[in-house]
Structure 1
Amino acid sequence: MQLAGPLQSWGASSRFARRTTESAPTKSAVVGLLAAALGRLRSDDISDLSGLLFGVRVDQRGTLLRDFHTAHRFVSGDAMPVSERFYLADAVFVAAVEGEKDLIEQLHQALRRPTFLPYLGRRSCPPTRPIDLGVHHDRTLEEALRQEEWRASRWHQREHRKPHIELEILLEATSTDEPSDTLRDQPISFNPLHRMYALRGVRRTRVQVPNPAGRPHVVRPEHDPTSVLGGA
């Protein structure tokens, strides 16, 4: 899945009037996007989706942006507390899920014809590119993220003139992995009356991918200013 847009926001620990964002998409948000594409309501069971293995590659980190929101109650007109909200501007990510073939195929078709419109963490953050990047039944989740072409914006690719670029990958830790970090973004229920999330281990790794706008490295001969003085 390609997650690209002017603004994205992936909250994992937002509370009250301060709504932060993680530096990469969370599993709970991507599972919510997939559930919406399937047409599921917030009160529906999501155990099959939360059981998917999840990973994300950071193709373009973007810039942290802070915004303030004001609101008034509809009936009384009373002012509500000012909320502070954070977004990622001009970021691009490649996300992937791994699971049983039938469920993956169902999700693939849903992304092509979503029941509810997808958004990048918040409803005010629509995607600007197609989300669907296809299905790879012959690859593991990590292999798919390592082999996918670099999806950063062309202007961002041109800024990095090297023929290859190193990208960070965040993989869901399995029972045999040593997690590098933990996030409370394992969704259990999206029911507005009782949302529930559990801790999830994350393993970080890196990969080098080709840069379509990169310039080949040219080895220049060593300059010797006295070489012209040599006799025949």
Structure 2
Amino acid sequence: MPTLLMCIDAPMQSWGVRSHFASRDTATEPTKSGIVGLLAAALGIPQNADEEIHHLASLRMGVRVDREGVLENDFHTVQNVPNTEGKNHRTAVTKRFYLADALFLVALESEDRHLLHQLLTALHQPHWPLYFGRKAFPPARPIPTQGLPSEHQSVTAQSLDHALRTHPWLENQPRVKNRPHTTGENASPDWLRTVVDADPFALDVELRHDFPLSFNPQQRSYASRAVQTGHVPLTPEMISSSTA
């Protein structure tokens, strides 16, 4: 089954899952709702187009963490915040979390190759600006993977699981990329964490409440999805064929 591959790289990213009022959290990897929102912006799908949003959310998604981010937080001042009756406006301080220096490979699998190519074209020429959770967090490099051997292009014939195991490492920081990773035949390899959509009846799954049902500002709603967390080895082949 063909797979669309995306590079999610930025100095700062925010993938909220349980944000409420004065505290805005972030997951430690891209959420389903965050990636669907990114694709919807690229295609120009409005927030109230629930059927189209659900169609994008039905794509099977997997994330490989090529560089774990550092959880940071800052404070924002919000003015003219009303009380529950819409009166007594005040100034509020909100605490917002984000990931710094994180890097992800995101894979989307579908039988509909035409849709994947449509998404690829939209990511190259997005209808609306793209950002990772906040408008101040734009991509650091093109989202479609590029500059790689033909079998690892942005839309590949490989399955999602195979792509996560074999796709070249996206790391491009020399201080990280050039350090020794494996030495000798018996050395233990480095491992990259993965989070993949899974059968809800499978063993060792957990629920993530980030499957978007509607992005309508008046009635945002989400459902839970089952994911399986695992690890794939960072092989010498993945390092030697990684991007510059």
Fold in common (TM above 0.5): yes
Q: Tell me, yes or no, if structure 1 residue 34 matches structure 2 residue 39.
A: yes
CA distance in 2, matches of 1:211, 1:122: 35
Shift of 1:117: 1.2
| Matched residue count | 215
Residue pair 2:169, 2:238 contacting (<8 A) in 1 also: no
Greater gyration radius: 1
CA distance in 2, matches of 1:4, 1:212: 22
Distance 1:81 1:60, change over 3 A: same
Larger mean Cα displacement after TM superposition, 137-146 or 111-120: 137-146
Residue pair 1:157, 1:211 contacting (<8 A) in 2 also: no
Q: 2:227 aligns with which of 179, 202, 213?
A: 202
Residue pair 1:57, 1:169 contacting (<8 A) in 2 also: yes
Give secondary structure in 2 for the equivalent of 1:31: helix
Q: TM-score, normalised on structure 1? A: 0.84
In structure 1, what is the equivalent of residue 63 of structure 2? 56
Q: Tell me, yes or no, if structure 1 residue 80 matches structure 2 residue 91.
A: yes
In structure 2, what is the equivalent of residue 43 of structure 1? 48
1:121 counterpart letter in structure 2 = G
Larger mean Cα displacement after TM superposition, 136-145 or 118-127: 136-145
Distance 1:125 1:211, change over 3 A: farther
Unaligned runs of 5+ in 2: 1-5, 82-86, 146-152, 183-188
In structure 1, what is the equivalent of residue 142 of structure 2? 130
Unaligned runs of 5+ in 1: 216-232
Distance 1:54 1:71, change over 3 A: same
In structure 1, what is the equivalent of residue 101 of structure 2? 90
Residue pair 1:149, 1:210 contacting (<8 A) in 2 also: no
Name the % identity: 39
Q: TM-score, normalised on structure 2? A: 0.81
Q: What CA RMSD, in Å, does the superposition of the two structures yield over aligned residues?
A: 2.5
1:157 counterpart letter in structure 2 = V
Give secondary structure in 2 for the equivalent of 1:109: helix
